[in-house]
């Protein structure tokens, strides 16, 4: 069948560094998956950590599988070939555990489709003791409710420690030969584990959520996000794909977490606090990655690379030790620190740079706590052009709360000024790519209560920017507002959305993030069949005391902090970066030693301590 599909290497396995353990002699069998195409899944940085961790256990084998593209899925259905792992080619139903990484809401229907292709019942309630246990983790698991009908166990937060605890329970359970429901009750006692079937959800007469309460004593009313104190060793022997993937380079996680405090950013909250990897470890990891994988490009992965202490020194040492290595520095801040970083890169490695002003006007940037003054942005852009970077990518977000026409116009003015700076710089003509995304009010952020902007308004803003930025050297791309609506509904949804996801999948929806496959009509139909409205979830502003579908998930950052941040936004008040200034008492002070120290130093602000 490989002759009949595009890119057969997506399904052949056998890649460099992939691990095949003895199937018959290994007790616990796990298959890990990112529910998207191979090229996307192989670029995910969380799965290699878990793959290595699980395979390091003598009695555990971990293999991989990704969502088969539609051509392959059609052949599998027609021929009855069940979805199989890339390593040993065993059908997924022969594994003990299937672990899904949920990083994007628009992959949810792929989870259902993969289970179906694996000939495993899609609904958790229809699976019995003979079926694998379905586990899901990742950033979307921080609001697990929309996927609660399909998943047996959610891992809330960082998986490195909790997975080992889960395995201990699994070993114990397997040894006893007990039922799956006994396993679920047992693992529900582990901090960071959420077993949705052990909770009852009630709604009010006005359709708002009333409560999510445990139905058994083993299940806790709130589930705490797991955080590892120290970053686990970097993965230096990842599987190397044989075809080009999205992130076709080595990756070293140099730090986890971000304390900048951008108020729209979910990652900034759910990966707190910041933990840095020592420079010596990064240097060693780069050498091992080159030796083990043959990479000539390595990405220093972080939510905010410029904030890593001594990043210039790190880049200089890496360039010195590995002169042929190209470094990719994602997520740079728009200020002088990035200019310094640019200087430390050798001349031949200057390709493109990406910056995210997010909003066009200083007022709106202040509102979202992205405190980048315009002169700083322009200085950084000028320095980039002077140093030979000709390709700049600029990210903006549309539909932010309080956004006005002036803020949209400010985007055109800012891009224009940057473009002119590029034309003044010597050398080639500048190429500026402007990427417009839509603001999605995400759970666990200071903006979790606000409404998403409607499609009509977003379309008008797109049209305005298309006209305003129509010139040579500027390329504009934008997100379909219908996709953003669906993303908002799925990310802020409650358990009733399970029916919608199921219905949409039944109507044929898969690969929803892919514009050629996104079928808005089918989704609307699925919402209607379930008696629900996408706008109820996306376009509705919540009151600050509404019970939200993710209230039982405790990410460590308190609701009091989120409310305070929302109020600070409305007051136009900046919240400083707690890494460099005082602790902002976000709630994590009880969880991490570094935060405890900073919190103790906090005596200046009575207002914060009152909370």
Residues at the contact surface with ligand SF4, assessed by CB under 6 A? 259, 272-273, 578, 583-586, 588-589, 595, 598-599
Distances in Å between the Cα of 438 and the Cα atoms of 58, 103, 371, 485 are 46, 17, 20, 9
Q: Residue 288: which H helix or E strand, with range?
A: helix 279-293
Q: How far is the CB of 574 from ligand SF4 (least distance, A)?
A: 14
- Report the alpha-carbon distance of residue 470 to residue 98 in Å, rounded: 48
Q: Give the relative orientation of helices 405-424 and 374-386 as an angle to the nearest 10 degrees.
A: 30
| Residue with smaller CB distance to ligand SF4, 259 or 491 | 259
- Report the alpha-carbon distance of residue 217 to residue 198 in Å, rounded: 9
427-446 b/e with 16+ CB inside 10 Å = b? eeebbbebbbbbbbbbbbbb
| Residue with smaller CB distance to ligand SF4, 184 or 270 | 270
Q: How far is the CB of 396 from ligand SF4 (least distance, A)?
A: 27
| Residue with smaller CB distance to ligand SF4, 219 or 586 | 586
| Residue with smaller CB distance to ligand SF4, 256 or 598 | 598
Q: How far is the CB of 395 from ligand SF4 (least distance, A)?
A: 24
- Report the alpha-carbon distance of residue 16 to residue 86 in Å, rounded: 12
Q: Please, is 317 exposed, middle or buried when counting C-beta atoms within 10 Å of its C-beta (0-12, 13-18, 19+)?
A: middle
Q: How far is the CB of 368 from ligand SF4 (least distance, A)?
A: 17
Cis peptide leading into 333, omega within 30 of 0?
A: no
**61 beta partners:** 29
Asked if 93 contacts 119 with a C-beta cutoff of 8 angstroms, the reply is yes
Q: How far is the CB of 601 from ligand SF4 (least distance, A)?
A: 9
| Residue with smaller CB distance to ligand SF4, 110 or 584 | 584
- Report the alpha-carbon distance of residue 300 to residue 276 in Å, rounded: 12
| Residue with smaller CB distance to ligand SF4, 156 or 588 | 588
| Residue with smaller CB distance to ligand SF4, 414 or 595 | 595
Q: How far is the CB of 597 from ligand SF4 (least distance, A)?
A: 8
Among left, alpha and beta (phi > 0; psi -120 to 50; other), residue 225 is beta
Q: How far is the CB of 228 from ligand SF4 (least distance, A)?
A: 15
- Sorted by sequence, the CB contacts under 8 Å of residue 226 that are 6+ apart come out as 155, 156, 157, 158, 159, 161, 162, 191, 192
| Residue with smaller CB distance to ligand SF4, 391 or 558 | 558
Q: How far is the CB of 433 from ligand SF4 (least distance, A)?
A: 33
Closest CA to 126 of 197, 203, 198, 192: 197
| Residue with smaller CB distance to ligand SF4, 555 or 578 | 578
End-to-end CA distance of the chain: 62
Q: How far is the CB of 582 from ligand SF4 (least distance, A)?
A: 8
């Amino acid at each position: 069948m490989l002759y009949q599909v595009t890119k057969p290497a997506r399904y052949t396995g056998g890649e460099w560094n992939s691990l095949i353990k003895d199937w018959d002699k290994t007790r616990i069998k796990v298959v890990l998956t990112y529910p998207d195409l191979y090229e996307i899944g192989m670029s995910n940085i969380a799965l290699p950590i878990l793959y290595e961790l699980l395979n390091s256990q003598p009695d555990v084998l971990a293999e991989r599988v990704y969502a088969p593209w539609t051509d392959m899925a059609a052949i599998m259905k027609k021929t009855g070939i069940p979805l199989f792992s890339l390593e040993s080619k065993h059908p997924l139903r022969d594994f003990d555990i299937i672990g899904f990484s949920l990083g994007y809401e628009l992959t949810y229907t792929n989870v259902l489709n993969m289970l179906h292709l694996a000939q495993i019942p899609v609904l958790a309630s229809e699976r019995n003791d003979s079926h694998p246990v379905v586990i899901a983790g990742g950033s979307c698991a921080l609001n697990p409710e929309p996927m609660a009908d399909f998943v047996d166990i959610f891992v809330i937060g960082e998986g490195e420690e909790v997975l080992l605890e889960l395995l201990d329970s699994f070993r114990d359970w397997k040894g006893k030969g007990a039922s799956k429901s006994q396993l679920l009750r047992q693992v529900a006692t582990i901090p960071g584990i959420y077993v949705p079937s052990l909770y009852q959800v009630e709604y009010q007469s006005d359709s708002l959520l009333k409560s999510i309460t445990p139905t058994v004593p083993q299940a806790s009313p709130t589930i705490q996000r797991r955080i590892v104190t120290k970053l686990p060793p970097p993965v230096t022997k990842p599987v190397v794909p044989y075809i080009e993937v999205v992130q076709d380079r080595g990756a070293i996680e140099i730090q986890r977490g971000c304390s900048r405090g951008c108020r729209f950013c979910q990652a900034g909250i759910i990966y707190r606090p910041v933990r840095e990897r020592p420079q010596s470890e990064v240097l060693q990891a780069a050498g091992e990655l080159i030796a083990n994988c043959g990479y000539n490009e390595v990405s220093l992965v972080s939510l905010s690379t410029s904030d890593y202490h001594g990043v210039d020194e790190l880049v200089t040492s890496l360039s010195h030790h590995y002169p042929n290595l190209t470094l990719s520095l994602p997520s740079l801040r728009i200020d002088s620190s990035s200019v310094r970083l640019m200087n430390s890169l050798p001349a031949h490695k200057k390709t493109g740079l990406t910056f995210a002003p997010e909003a066009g006007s200083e007022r709106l940037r202040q509102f979202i706590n992205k405190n980048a003054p315009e002169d700083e942005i322009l200085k950084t852009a000028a320095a980039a052009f002077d140093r030979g970077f000709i390709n700049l990518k600029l990210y903006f977000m549309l539909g932010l709360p309080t956004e006005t026409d002036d803020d949209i116009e400010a985007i055109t003015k800012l891009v224009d000024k940057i473009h002119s700076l590029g034309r003044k710089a010597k050398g080639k003509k500048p190429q500026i790519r402007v990427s417009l995304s839509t603001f999605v009010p995400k759970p666990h952020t200071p903006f979790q209560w606000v409404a998403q902007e409607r499609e009509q308004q977003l379309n008008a803003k797109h049209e305005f920017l298309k006209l305003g930025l129509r010139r040579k050297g500027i390329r504009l791309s934008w997100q379909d507002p219908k996709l953003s609506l669906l993303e908002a509904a799925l990310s802020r949804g409650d358990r009733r959305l399970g029916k919608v996801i199921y219905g949409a999948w039944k109507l044929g929806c898969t690969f929803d993030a892919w514009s050629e496959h996104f079928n808005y009509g089918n989704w609307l139909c699925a919402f209607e069949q379930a008696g629900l409205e996408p706008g109820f979830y996306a376009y509705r502003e919540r009151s600050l005391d509404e019970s939200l579908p993710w209230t039982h998930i405790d990410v460590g950052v308190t609701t009091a902090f989120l409310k305070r941040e929302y109020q600070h936004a409305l007051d136009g008040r900046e919240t400083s970066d707690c890494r460099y200034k005082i602790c902002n008492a976000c709630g994590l002070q009880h969880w991490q030693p570094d935060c405890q120290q900073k919190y103790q130093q906090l005596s200046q602000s009575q207002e914060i301590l009152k909370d």
